[in-house]
Amino acid sequence: MAAGQERANHKKPDLVLQSTVAADKLHGVYPQRQTDLYMQRIKIPGGRIQWQQWQVIAQLQERFSPGTPVHLTTRQDIELHNLRLDDTVKVQQILVDAGFSVYGACGDSLRNITVCPGCGFCKDGRDVFDISEMVKNYLQSRPAILNLPRKFKISFSGCRQSCAKPYLNDIGFIAVSEEHFEVVVGGSLGPVPALGIKAYEQLPVSDIFALCCAAVEMFVEYGDRKNRIKARFRHVREKLGNDAFLSELDKRFRGAKNKEPRSELNLLTKTNSDFKLLHRLNIPDGDIIAKHILLLADLCRPCGIESRINFEHGIELYGLEPLKLPESLKAFENASIITCCPGNRSCPYGLINCQLTASMIRDALADDKRFNNVRINISGCPNNCAHSAAAAIGLVGLKREKEECVQLYIGGGEGKNQNLAQKGGVENVKNITPVFFSK
């Protein structure tokens, strides 16, 4: 399907987009801080990507943004940076022809629905990928999805470990049996972070469409359209109060059950796969060059390897038999797990250079085993795009007398539970390395 056809199929005749800017954002194009340069975001449902698609991504990078790495996001998306606006149409055409989707990658829309990267392979979990795809397709067919006050985020976790970070989403589904989900609603971070609250402990799988439609339509009616800072679904919760919010959502849900179709999937398949995690590649800053992408594609092609993008700039490789990595990819296995947003490298809101900060920390911790497997999240501004305010160790960019500084956060539950991180001190970025070694 061509890019223009993809847009046409989702565009309702009575809900025409009001501007080219809105249309571009709805299809994943966002202006960078550099004049006349743009980012194209690509939705990767559940982070699942085939070797042929890796090849297409590498080819696009080499043709349209040579010298600029491909970026893996915290929402299982892929981004191409430093594109000319005229090239974004060509890029979208190639992407759609290769089976990718850009619709809803940015803008006030349903964003990429995230799924725990081990879904289908985790021995204790349920396979929730198919139901996530059903929800995406169903909601994107609804007229209300083109009239949202702001973005709307959904995640699916296959077990109670909640690896898909339900407490950071507008709706987070956690599989608790083959027939039921636990449901968390109304979470987001931003400058004043607030994690979600539990709405249902045993939601039948068959009722999932009704709940999603009730939540979206409630958001359309109650969401703030004048102040974007207060426009997320969790701000509706804060405005009404938790009890009134849950009561209103449940009332709408019960009404929707009488008119919305029931899910075609009534039971969640219990994982029964011999596939196991073979390698986890921690890509520094989420930035990977075409050479490494092509190596990855060649590695996956003959071996039946499943590759998944996770939430921490990583790529997880699953398979049946041991897999030997080429040396240039093997180096990523021992890299620190540091998640950061683009920061002031390309984002108009970025206050610090997240990549430089991450590099300083990475170098300082290279030989310090105390930080093995510890997650560090770095956000370039208080919008918290790298989930710093819910991180085990988080840094948020600030400006203090023209100096680049960070607000420290410690002890968060990473969106898997209701634990927000606690604020520490404010430190100059230049002094950040000694701060870690003093704790």
d(CA 244, CA 257): 20
Residues 380 and 345 in one domain: yes
At which residue do the structure tokens 């990078």 appear?
Answer: 61
Residues 343 and 327 in one domain: no
Model confidence at 21, pLDDT cuts 50, 70, 90, reads low
Residue 54 burial by Cβ neighbours in a 10 Å radius (0-12, 13-18, 19+) = buried
What the block records as the tokens of 45 is 């449902």
Share of residues in the chain with pLDDT > 90 (%): 77
End-of-domain residue from the set 226, 256, 286:
256
pLDDT tens string 282-309: 999 999 999 999 999 999 988 889 999 9
CATH number of residue 402's parent domain: 3.30.413.10
Q: In degrees, to the nearest 5, what angle opens at C-alpha 345 toward C-alphas 340 and 346?
A: 100
263 falls within a domain: no
User: 127 in helix, strand or coil?
Assistant: strand
318 falls within a domain: yes
Domain count, the chain: 3
145 falls within a domain: yes
Q: Does residue 3 surpass a pLDDT of 80?
A: no
Distance of CA 220 to the CA centre of its chain: 22
End-of-domain residue from the set 212, 230, 256:
256
pLDDT tens string 153-183: 999 999 999 999 999 999 999 999 999 999 9
* Domain encompassing residue 328: 3-108+273-333
Write the DSSP symbol of residue 46: G
At which residue do the structure tokens 């300083």 appear?
Answer: 360
Q: Does residue 6 surpass a pLDDT of 80?
A: no
180 falls within a domain: yes
Sheet containing 393-400: order of strands: 338-340, 376-379, 393-400, 403-410, 422-428
116 falls within a domain: no
Residues 387 and 317 in one domain: no
- Its sign, for the CA torsion 61, 63, 65, 67, is positive
Residues 162 and 239 in one domain: yes
Residues 316 and 383 in one domain: no
Q: How many C-beta atoms surround the C-beta of residue 347 within 10 A? A: 20
What integer pLDDT is reported at residue 434 of this predicted model? 80
169 falls within a domain: yes
Residues 346 and 407 in one domain: yes
What integer pLDDT is reported at residue 10 of this predicted model? 39
pLDDT tens string 393-415: 999 999 988 899 999 999 999 99
End-of-domain residue from the set 256, 285, 308:
256
Strands (E), 209-368: 269-270, 276-282, 287-288, 306-309, 314-319, 338-340
User: 247 in helix, strand or coil?
Assistant: helix
296 falls within a domain: yes
User: 144 in helix, strand or coil?
Assistant: helix
- Beta strands 180-185; 197-204: pairing state: antiparallel
Q: Which of 1-15, 137-151, 374-388 has the lowest mean pLDDT?
A: 1-15
14 falls within a domain: yes
